[in-house]
Amino acid sequence: MLQETYLRQALRNDELFLVYQPIFELKTKKIIGFESLTRWHNDILGDVSPVEFINIAEETGLIIDLGKWLLEKICQQLFIWQKEGIDIYISMNLSPRQFRDSHLVESILETTKKYQINPKNLKLEITEQVLVEDIPIVKQLLFQLNSLGFELYLDDFGTGYSSLSYLRKYPFTLIKIDRSFVLDIEESDKNKALIKTMISMAHNLNLSIIAEGIETPNQLDFLKSENCAAGQGYLFSRPLEAEKLLDFISGVE
Ligand code: G
Ligand code: G
Ligand code: MN
Ligand code: NA
């Protein structure tokens, strides 16, 4: 596969980079974290969508190396902030194949130790895709990571088949309301009711919550009126390149 060869080279040649989307406490507009998102620009292929190259990485097993690269980058960023006295977390997306790597926990521990990163500053975003097969080793890894202080966030909440049972079985501390619900807030009362239900469910289960994909002031107002604690989206900011982060943080705070 052509793209596999390119992706392999990309990892070696530093063609991949991270962008970071700020996550805000809605009431105060304070930045509480950033979601890291991987980007790939190749001279021949142009900008390749992460959906595409993450898929290729998953299928070819390159995701293991990509994941290690990602972790290293995130920890380097956290290390810089730490020196500046900035206490903000970064969340990292983990995909299914990474849970078949028996060294996952070890490599997370090693890299965070190397940069003296407090586990509370690295959140792990997992989608239901990781959980559908209900593999015992995955469950074990998730509990292990949680007990080491790395919080697990359930991503794309509400879009899968059995979100509720995952909340019961696994040690998540936060749900991320999928942006499809936020997008349709203004369209129908049903969507409003669904969002309300998710927020009150999170409150009742002592889970934190982040609404994704906030694009309009109306969406924000509704979420605030329902006491949704945190959110991210183009209304606040698109994902930012690393060089822009410090300015952005000091501009907001
Ligand atoms: O950033 P964007 O919306 O284009 O991302 C598209 C999809 O790719 C999202 O589902 C996002 O979670 C996924 N994605 C982006 N970066 C990463 C990454 O570093 N690792 C994994 N596993 N998925 C990512
Ligand atoms: O699947 P996941 O939740 O990790 O995907 C995050 C994706 O959502 C990223 O690709 C990011 O670029 C995108 N995103 C973030 N905020 C918004 C938004 O306000 N609107 C839209 N359409 N996409 C967004
Ligand atoms: Mn995510
Ligand atoms: Na999502």
CATH of the domain at 168: 3.20.20.450
Cβ of residue 239 lying under 6 Å from some atom of ligand 2: yes
Cβ of residue 50 lying under 6 Å from some atom of ligand 1: yes
Who contacts 182 (Cβ-Cβ below 8 Å, separation ≥6)? 195, 211, 212, 213, 214, 215, 219, 223, 233
Give me the domain span that covers residue 68.
2-252
Q: DSSP character for 61?
A: S
Instruction: Give the span between the Cα atoms of 29 and 231, in whole angstroms.
Output: 9
Instruction: Give the span between the Cα atoms of 208 and 174, in whole angstroms.
Output: 4
Cβ of residue 142 lying under 6 Å from some atom of ligand 1: no
User: For residue 213, how far is its CA from the centre of ligand 2 (angstroms)?
Assistant: 6
* Per-residue pLDDT reduced to its tens digit, 88-117: 999 999 999 999 998 999 999 999 999 999
Cβ of residue 180 lying under 6 Å from some atom of ligand 2: no
Amino acid 71: pLDDT: 98
Amino acid 192: pLDDT: 93
Number of domains in the chain: 1
User: For residue 82, how far is its CA from the centre of ligand 4 (angstroms)?
Assistant: 27
Look up residue 116 and give its two tokens: 């003296």
- Encode the chain (253 residues) as per-residue pLDDT tens digits: 678 999 999 999 999 999 999 999 999 999 999 999 999 999 999 999 999 999 999 999 999 999 999 999 999 999 999 999 999 999 999 999 999 998 999 999 999 999 999 999 999 999 999 999 888 999 999 999 999 999 999 999 999 887 889 999 999 999 999 999 999 898 889 999 999 999 999 999 999 999 999 999 999 999 999 999 999 999 999 999 999 999 999 987 6
